[in-house]
Amino acid sequence: MDQQDKAGIEKIVEDRKRAHWFYTNKSEVYRMFSALEEKAFADGSLSRMHKELIATGISVMTDCESCMEWHIHEALKAGATPEQVIEAVGVAIEIGAGKAAVSARFAMKVLEYYEPSVR
């Protein structure tokens, strides 16, 4: 990893810690969000680790770097292996490709609409 990437990740961590302190002390809505997060990621039928792996994939799909940093770190802390994180990211890649494939189907319908000869 190059220094620029490392510095970027460290900035995300620093910014989140600063914002978390501020909002926790100043915002009822943020405190409620934090409580929601606690509930959502608590062990249940799915373990916290599995929920963090799901969140990792969603974070990749939504291109949320701060989310990726948080949920990958949390998944590892909850017992996920690097291989499990890589698989979760792989699922996100497939979902992204799947979404593109679905969009491509509509693109072909539009082409067919304007150029019926492509049928």
User: Is residue 19 predicted with pLDDT exceeding 90?
Assistant: no
Give the pLDDT confidence score for residue 93 in this predicted structure.
Answer: 96
Question: Containing domain of residue 88, as a range?
Answer: 43-119
Say whether both 59 and 30 belong to one domain. Answer: no
- How far CA 66 is from CA of 6, 60, 102, 103, in Å, comes to 13, 10, 28, 27
Q: For the segment 37-59, what is each residue's pLDDT rounded down to a tens digit?
A: 999 999 999 999 999 999 999 99
Say whether both 20 and 63 belong to one domain. Answer: no
Say whether both 23 and 60 belong to one domain. Answer: no
Domain total of the chain: 2
Return the number of other C-beta atoms located less than 10 Å from residue 76's C-beta: 16
